Structure formats: C-alpha cells, structure tokens
Amino acid sequence: MSANPPAPPTSQPGGWAGEAWGGFASMLVALPSSIAYGVAVYAALGADYIALGVRAGILGAIVLGLVAAAIGGSPRLISAPCAPAAAVLAALIGDWLGDAHGPAASERIIVVVMVVALFSGGLQTAYGLIGGGRLIKYIPYPVVAGYLSAVGVIIFLGQLPKFLGVAKGISLGRATVSPDLWQWPAVIVGATTIAGVLLAPRVTRRVPAPILGLMAGVA
C-alpha cells in the first residue's frame, strides 16, 4: 500500500458555481443562527441590548469565517458560531448580572464579555496552530455527547417560552401548563417554521432545510 497522500481533486467545469452556491447556502444557514446566538447572549441585559446582540452575532460570523479560512486546518470546512459557546456566554452574563451593581453595570459586562471572547478566540487559534485539536480523541465520547446534549436541552427550554409567546417573567413550568397565557399567533408561526424544516427534505435537498423553514415561518 502506497504511503503517498492522495492527489487533491482537480477542478471540474462549473466548480466555481458550485463553490459560490455552497458559500451562499452556508451564509443563509449561518446568518439566522448567528443572530439567534447573539440575541441569546445579550438578552439577559435587557431589551435595549437586543440590537447589539444581533450586530455581535453577525460580526462574529464574518470574523470567524475569515479567520478560519485563513489559518484553519480544514480548507473545506465552513466555520460558524456555535450554540455551546453562546450558552456559556449567556450563563456567564446571567451570573455576572447577579453580582454587578450600578448604572454602568451592563456596559462593564459587555466589555468583559468582549475580552473573554477575544482571549477564547486567541487560545483556540493557538491550539489550532500547534495541532491541539488532536487531543480531542482523548476525551471520552459520553462526556462530549452529554455536554452537547445538555446544551441542546438548555437552548430548547430557553426558547420554549418564546415559542409559546408568553410574557417575560413567567416561569417555564407555568408557561407550559397554562394555555391561556399562550400567544397563538406566535405558536402558529413557530409550528409552521418547524414543519417547514421537517418537510423541506421531501421537497428539495438543493436548499437547506432551515432556510425553507425560515421562509415558511415568515410567509
């Protein structure tokens, strides 16, 4: 068996069109999730900071895509903001809000979050440059699966009141057992979006299912 690495695939006619479509589709998928993650991180600071969270999510996706493409070890892998990082930052902000006091507390927290994000990104970049990603194989799979599953549960429970359209401040338990508090237009929009995501692969696979689901919810 030859030890030589396989030759890279040669370009095919229409390859650039495929790359452009793939990048466009990835952008359409990454943009809504990036906005959602930014909003989730900044939501604890109050409604006045939602727009800032949207901008942070969009800029984070742009910067991450440029940095990963420039120094990433997988040239065909498209990077985007992830839910676990957003969940950790949201939890940190919620914890800091309990200890912060004063009119400028939210502004100080935003600065601290920016510093945390910069240092985290720098460490991740350094790990990538020295090949630290290979260490992941030493982490037991149940640990990784449990961590990601817990993040998924946290995100689901956090979005459920928004899906039901209940007012802010109502506990999750009360929201789920009190249909009289639900805003049915919000429920219909959410259910339509979920149905669009689930049924989209039966219609076409050329367009990502989240995009079709988003279009169905908007329509």
Tokens of 51: 């727009």
| pLDDT of 42 higher than 80 | yes
Q: Give the residue numbers spanning the domain of 100.
A: 22-138
Q: Which long-range contacts (CB under 8 A, 24 or more apart) does 65-68 make?
A: 65/30, 67/121, 67/125
- pTM more than 0.75: no
| pLDDT of 9 higher than 70 | no
In a domain, 130, yes or no: yes
In a domain, 199, yes or no: no
Question: CA 17, 18, 19, 21: dihedral to nearest 10 degrees?
Answer: 90
What contacts 65, CB < 8 A, 6 or more positions away? 30, 78, 79, 80
Domains identified in the chain, total number: 1
Sign of CA dihedral 169, 167, 156, 66: negative
Q: Is 13 exposed, middle or buried (0-12, 13-18, 19+ CB in 10 A)?
A: exposed
In a domain, 172, yes or no: no
> What are the tens digits of pLDDT across the range 109-134?
888 888 988 898 888 888 877 877 78
The label of the residue with tokens 């996706």 reads 61
Q: Give me Rg for the CA atoms of the chain.
A: 21
In a domain, 171, yes or no: no
The chain-wide mean pLDDT, for the chain, equals 79
Greatest Cα pair distance in the chain: 69
